[in-house]
Structure 1
């Protein structure tokens, strides 16, 4: 089988899978059944996925304290990100005299540590709450 036909078949198979999944979600909206299928699909995907992903949240506990691990990683990456990243954000340092550069949202840089290739990515997730409030209704995790 030549590579051209293999990619065409793979594309057709993926399109068919996506179509069937959309139909399934439409006619079987039960969260329990979809949750079980999602769980097994994720297990099958992880079988072929060779990478490990570790997430460090900016805030810990009651969301009032900034994570020490997050701060240490931010400090470690300040030099790497300022030389590799295309999108940076700037802030004033602790002594109010130095400028600190860090990665902006959804930016990624590569690093090597102990012979391993690492990719550091900065991202955020925003979840909306359904409660009535005079304040912002978004809960942002970075």
Structure 2
């Protein structure tokens, strides 16, 4: 079901020829770090680092828990944390509204063989109007991930 939704969403994006290839980079870069810390400690440190960077958490998706509950099975914990700085979002929107697809920022964490994998989806840095802002956002995503991993 999830795969079908992803495929349909991708098909809808591909069908819309008005979308700017500069602002909608399908092969977004990722920043990944791994830690031996406890999952709950990583969550707490991510939340702290996000707030310390003047961002607000806008949502949490506990995918692992949802799968475990719906299938009544043991499943690795995995969570997506969404967060945004409204001032930065407005600045990005004013320069290129198509880039809104990349907002809010998100970092995932998941259990893997006794470790916790932290992964940030970096925003594309290929739009000349947004290069300064996107470089700052990506540096912040890396800092937050590194803080949570230490």
TM-score normalised by L of structure 1: 0.24
TM-score normalised by L of structure 2: 0.23
Q: Which has the higher helix share?
A: 2
Q: Name which one, 1 or 2, has greater alpha-carbon Rg.
A: 1
Structure number with greater CO (CA < 8 Å, separation at least 6) is 2
